[in-house]
């Protein structure tokens, strides 16, 4: 099974000049795609023979490898499908979802045999609607994907129906199947360390380290709580420090952004973590 994973588009609004016109050079927010690298690591554990390639599209746009011209979406699609493959997974964010759908359509035109799917918070609450409206989308992985995504790939490879895979919405001929929800992953330390080796710019691009997930509060204006079922979880201090140490020693990273919706929710834990981080000279 050959799989391509691609990041969503993130325009660097602060770098956009006021006199920009269509076709002007885009300045994107490039980053280490830790979420997709975590999915790749989970796939590696499931089956080491699967070939999973991660495309960080923003870096490629900044480098000029994806031209910003009248064929921009086709250019992106060509980058994602080059080399062939069986399945494409596209990361989504709310502010760029329309771009992602446009790219999915171009991918399907170029390679109709490819199975094209979406994942992430922007599509979890609208999964069924997206498949009903856009024929180019074959499946949506809802909520966390590290368990659902490898199970879906395994089912495809073995010719099994994905009907029992929790957290999956999928196209079954002319019918849209919306499988039962999957419970959140209680122990995040069970997740494999993201496959940082799979991304050539790990030493340079912005890095948002996945240290925990969820928020226990119920703010009406925010989608975070329902997405994570109001379950607040942290990776253990030793696990976070081990990932920091790996990135420092192998790639020379000296700066880390912690990706978490409310890192300081448990103040006692936060103080203990900071003490441990200082003791580890990190």
pLDDT(227) > 80: no
* Number of residues in the chain: 282
The whole-number pLDDT of residue 261 equals: 83
Q: What is the DSSP letter of 139?
A: E
The whole-number pLDDT of residue 223 equals: 74
Q: Is residue 243 part of a domain?
A: yes
Shared-domain flag, residues 104 and 225: no
Q: Is residue 192 part of a domain?
A: no
Shared-domain flag, residues 7 and 137: yes
Q: Is residue 84 part of a domain?
A: yes
Shared-domain flag, residues 245 and 124: no
* Cα 56 to Cα 267: distance, rounded to the nearest angstrom: 35
Q: Is residue 36 part of a domain?
A: yes
Q: What is the pLDDT of residues 68-120, one digit of tens each?
A: 889 999 999 999 999 889 999 999 998 899 999 999 999 999 999 999 999 98
Q: Is residue 29 part of a domain?
A: yes
* Domain span holding position 220: 212-251+261-279
**How many distinct structural domains can be found in the chain?**
2
Query: Could you tell me which residues come within 8 angstroms of residue 149 by beta carbon, excluding any fewer than 6 positions away?
Result: 39, 42, 43, 89, 119, 141
Shared-domain flag, residues 238 and 129: no
Shared-domain flag, residues 133 and 224: no
Percent of the chain with pLDDT over 70: 100
pTM, entire model:
0.94
CA atoms within 13 A on the CB side of 252: 4
Domain boundary among 178, 196, 227: 178
Please give the structure tokens belonging to residue 235.
């990776």
pLDDT(10) > 90: yes
CATH of the domain at 167: 3.40.50.2300
> Can you point out the beta strands (E) in the chain?
2-6, 51-55, 87-91, 115-119, 139-141, 168-172, 175-178, 208-210, 212-213, 233-234, 257-259
């Amino acid at each position: 099974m050959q799989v391509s994973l691609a990041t969503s588009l993130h325009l660097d609004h602060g770098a956009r000049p006021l006199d920009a016109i269509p076709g002007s050079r885009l300045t994107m927010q490039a980053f280490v795609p830790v979420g997709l690298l975590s999915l790749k690591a989970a796939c590696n554990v499931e089956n080491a023979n699967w070939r999973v390639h991660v495309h960080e599209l923003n870096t490629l746009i900044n480098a000029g490898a994806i031209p910003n011209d009248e064929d921009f979406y086709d250019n992106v699609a060509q980058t994602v499908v080059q080399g062939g493959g069986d399945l494409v997974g596209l990361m989504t964010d709310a502010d760029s979802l329309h771009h992602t759908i446009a790219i999915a359509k171009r991918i399907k035109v170029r390679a109709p045999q490819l199975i094209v799917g979406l994942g992430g918070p922007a599509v979890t609450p609208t999964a069924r609607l997206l498949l009903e409206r856009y024929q180019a989308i074959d499946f949506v992985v809802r909520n966390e994907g590290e368990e659902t995504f490898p199970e879906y790939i395994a089912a495809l490879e073995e010719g099994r129906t994905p009907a029992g895979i929790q957290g999956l919405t999928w196209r079954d001929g002319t019918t849209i199947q919306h499988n039962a929800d999957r419970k959140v992953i209680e122990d995040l330390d069970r997740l494999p360390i993201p496959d940082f080796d799979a991304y050539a710019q790990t030493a340079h691009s912005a890095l948002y380290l996945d240290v925990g997930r969820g928020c226990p509060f119920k703010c009406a204006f925010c989608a975070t709580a329902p997405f994570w079922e109001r379950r607040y979880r942290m990776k253990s201090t030793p696990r976070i420090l081990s990932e920091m140490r790996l990135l420092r020693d192998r790639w020379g990273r000296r700066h880390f952004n912690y990706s978490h919706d409310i890192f300081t929710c448990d103040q006692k834990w936060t103080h203990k973590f900071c003490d441990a981080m200082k003791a580890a000279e990190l």
